[in-house]
Structure 1
């Protein structure tokens, strides 16, 4: 078997020159930054960052809202030979202190309010510079650094996971990881220079950061947005003529419930989703709300960026599918011994190829648990990400999510996937969201608890219970169904399953 050559990549800061010099690259309020201005600003910011830390190889963290600085610093840091550590603006002082200490960041660029939030928890070795000074540097007349000459495997960024199942892990991403991820997404979304992308997701989130990188790869413009309400998103789509919107399921739930003028909704040509599966009822609502838009369901994990997408032409007939591998990814469904499963046989999703990250920062133990040699049948070989997610492949080579092995509920001798219970509950059409988990039970081993959020605040308890009795076997029936008006999210906007289960346990103890 011949090992395929890795696709070629360039240093990630070269993205600042992918569009026409006078074409818009960044739209913030009424301010338009062209690609020429983007490149010049990146160069000046890179020079300043290098002065602050004293030499290449250091980690530089940013902790801010979606300012111009937050958008330029991923490219500026690597142009200076530094490693960028983006911090989610929703995190609190103790979480940020952990990220700064773990990454060994020598500089944090933030505002005074956030710096004060850190207080004495800030590592002594990490200096702080104010956002306002960095913004002034971008606009200065100073001479900036030229394009970098980094190697594809050089470290470019450390992205920290949300840490909902343990302490946050720093995923190490190379220039090739980021460049090829941008190229891949721009390719299958068919982005072009006329597109306008609304960046609503956190830039510390791999999916959110890629909103910038894939757009600039295609020569398109990005409008970063920190929104408070769905109405803010509606207004931004109208204001900038947005064609492309990326979201996670909780955001789509809010957006389909918002009031959209027909002309504004008609702007949108593509909707992309990751961070959780879209349900058939939510897809139907999205199609009705945005009639001109193609829907791209996707699956990914920070350790390999993005793994699969479902082509819009398959969404109507296969709404629950994860799709197939994205460009530059090889996706295998494997048994425990590394052999490939048969069609419809569940197995572990294994991601191979050049999008696989370089492991966890300074954490050999957890790196060894997730990053292992690729199965022998892999075309790429090398290290692969063993996701821990169970999926199945149908005869058309479309993939379907089954569940995470460590989340399985073991009840009455049966292994139950929470996802399966949740999907059936949502398929009732009575709710938008559901979270299932197990609680200790002396007779069953674990009993199933189902927490749901109904449509428009309506709680049809009898209707949902009846639907589940008709569509789930007895051993999969929830012991308790609880209705909520809201469900907690983690900093990336996903349903926080750990917090939901903890709330339930606290209420039970009370």
Structure 2
């Protein structure tokens, strides 16, 4: 049955996610691997073989199959093959370590883990559930592709569970977000639609496939008939080389990577190949928008906002990025995004409220965690056109008179100093706008007098001179007194978490430890 459709939205008729590769021309290129290029005919054949092998090896409908490997044929095919086999895929970020992987395997109750041998060897006794079979990546592919057990396209209910994506675990233990076929299908359709992807597009997939938008790079590109080039890069320079080598048109990244890419010298002809840049995983600063627009003048820059619990919520029309560089834009197709005040009503224009996401992109909750599901997944506000269950994001935003949204900060990340509620992003934006720093993180640390004091951690811009002397003066000039940092901490590099974002929690923990040791010393 089609999902309910608010006025003005496009019909939402999801299908099983493996159908995303069903209708493209057989000979069109679909996936570029180290071993060669798979066209759509080969891609469909190999998904069918892998699905058949999984059905024979695991069998139990709804069983969880985890993958822990670098980008390659297995990690590209398995999301579709597991879903076709009636199983639930659990992608594990290859950057995670033993303890985190053990938690994911135990929490999901995985029946199988397919991993690179080196990664599997790091798991010790008790790290793998008793009934979980561990098989090497190469062994799994060889076994699948030498059998005749072909599994045809799925007839699954689109509302059936297809994947569990675990959050990075930067705040508490990782949570498994349950995604249905419909969530994945409509996410692909939504992104392919507003990005205007076509069969001529070639997407460089640099984001982790265990990250919701990282996985969507596959689905949205394939739905449009384009070609995906997976890349695990060691250095940002590898991205430039890959764009050149593979004639890439579409590149998605998170702000820390964009900062690094902007610090490189891009040959003009290579930069000109990119016609579409998409950002998620954090807001773009005004300065970074200007640098990206100057470096890639032919490319359309899409600023986007999303959360794993509902995949993607908003995007900004690239035509408006210069005039509205700090805006989150408006709702993506298949999403209804409301700004709700503390009384539960629609917030007035210009007033701060909580972002609430309604509609068919809303995930099914947290795997085996009813308590945390009830905290985040609650009945939609009365004003919702969709109704049903909505995701209450915890993010504070403002909507202007034209309906454009601006991010204020996370409710639990707001700094409360001397009775003032301070948005870390506001301080970070001013620091970045100075041109003296390349990256900035504002944190609230315990303070006996203020409750919390503002601490700013920064990495100097490569070309900035005397930044340590000049930055405090610029902040005093551009920020009200209650926002001035108590201390500025200069770092050669800021820590990056498994999802590619700056590890704010880890940074705060390290800073607290250093300050404590300094006080005791």
Aligned to 1:505: 512
Q: Secondary structure at the match of 2:273?
A: coil
Kept after mapping to 2: 8 A contact 1:18/1:216 = no
Residue equivalent to 1:89: 94
**Is the contact made by 1:242 and 1:268 (CA closer than 8 Å) also made in structure 2?**
yes
Of stretches 143-152 and 188-197 in structure 1, the one that deviates more from structure 2 is 143-152
Whether the aligned pair in 2 keeps the contact of 1:159 and 1:205 (CA below 8 Å) is: yes
Q: CA deviation at 1:141?
A: 5.7
The equivalent residue for 1:486 is 493
The runs of 5 or more residues in structure 1 that have no matched partner are none
Structure 2 Cα separation of the partners of residues 118 and 363 of structure 1 = 25
Structure 1 residue 139 displacement after superposition: 3.8
**Is the partner of 1:469 in helix, strand or coil?**
helix
Which of 15, 18, 27 is residue 32 of structure 2 equivalent to? 27
1:258 and 2:264 equivalent? Answer: yes
The residue number in structure 1 matching 2:380 is 374
2:78 aligned residue: 73
User: Is 1:495 matched up with 2:496?
Assistant: no
Task: Verify: 1:224 aligned to 2:225, yes or no.
Answer: no
Question: In the aligned structure 2, how far is the partner of 1:200 from the partner of 1:467?
Answer: 35
**Higher mean displacement: 123-132 or 219-228:** 123-132
C-alpha contact 1:161 1:168 (8 A) present in aligned 2: yes
| Residues 1:460 and 2:462 aligned together | no
Q: Which of 11, 15, 18 matches 1:13? A: 18
Report if aligned partners of 1:457, 1:485 keep a CA contact under 8 Å in 2.
no
- TM-score normalised to structure 2 length: 0.96
Query: Counterpart of 1:358?
Result: 364
Q: What is the aligned partner in structure 2 of residue 101 from structure 1?
A: 106
Q: 1:507 to 1:315 in 2, by over 3 A?
A: same
Deviations 1:120-147 (A, max 9, x none): 1222111111111222245436241000
User: 1:71–1:212: 8 Å Cα contact kept in structure 2?
Assistant: yes
> C-alpha separation between the residues in 1 aligned to 2:333 and 2:500?
26
| Structure 1 residues 478 and 93: alpha-carbon distance in aligned structure 2, compared to 1, 3 A threshold | same
Of residues 287, 294, 298 in structure 2, which corresponds to 1:288?
A: 294
CA contact (8 A) 2:309 2:362 kept: yes
Distance in 1, Cα, partners of 2:513 & 2:451: 20
The answer to whether structure 1 residue 324 and structure 2 residue 325 are counterparts is no
Alignment of 1:385-404 (within 5 A): 385-404=391-410
Matched with 1:407 is 413
* Cα offsets for 1:311-335 (capped at 9, x unmatched): 1011001000001000000000001
Q: Offset at 1:457? A: 7.1
| Separation of aligned partners in 2, 1:141 and 1:294 | 45
> Tell me, what secondary structure is at the counterpart of 2:403?
coil
> Structure 1's 383 and 367: CA in aligned 2 closer, same or farther, altered over 3 A?
same
Aligned-residue offset at 1:259: 2.2
The unaligned stretches of length 5 or more in structure 2 are: none
Q: Secondary structure at the match of 2:514?
A: helix
Q: State the TM-score, normalizing by the size of structure 1.
A: 0.98
Q: Select 2:305's aligned residue among 299, 309, 313.
A: 299
1:55 aligned residue: 60
Could you tell me whether the CA contact under 8 Å between 2:338 and 2:357 is conserved in 1? yes
Q: Cα deviations across residues 252-284 of structure 1 (Å, max 9, x unaligned)?
A: 011111121111111000000000011111111
* Cα separation, 2, equivalents of 1:434 and 1:507: 18
Distance 1:434 1:155 in 2: 39
Deviates most, 22-31 or 42-51? 22-31
Offset, 1:30: 5.7
The CA deviation string for residues 165-200 of structure 1, in whole angstroms up to 9 with x for no partner, is 111000000000000000000000000000000000
User: Would the aligned equivalents of 2:53 and 2:147 in 1 still touch at CA under 8 Å?
Assistant: no
SS of the residue corresponding to residue 118 of structure 1 reads: coil
Which residue pairs with 2:280 in the alignment? 274
Structure 1 229/132 Cα, relative in aligned 2: closer, same or farther at 3 Å? same
Distance in 1 separating the partners of 2:516 and 2:207:
36
Alignment match, 1:39: 44
- In 2: Cα distance, 1:320 partner to 1:478 partner: 22
| Greater shift in the superposed pair: 282-291 or 33-42 | 282-291
Contact kept, 8 Å, 1:205 with 1:492, in 2: the verdict is: yes
In structure 2, the CA distance between the partners of 1:85 and 1:427, relative to structure 1 (3 Å rule), is same
Closer/same/farther in 2, CA of residues 69 and 319 from structure 1, 3 Å limit: same
Q: Secondary structure of 2:123's match?
A: helix
State the secondary structure of the residue aligned to 2:124.
Answer: helix
Shift of 1:367: 0.1
1:207 matches 2:208:
no
Aligned to 2:343: 337
Please state how far the C-alpha of 1:203 moved relative to its aligned partner: 0.2
- Is residue 477 of structure 1 aligned with residue 484 of structure 2? yes
Aligned counterpart for 1:156 among listed residues 140, 155, 162: 162
How far is the alpha carbon of 1:18 from its aligned partner? 3.5
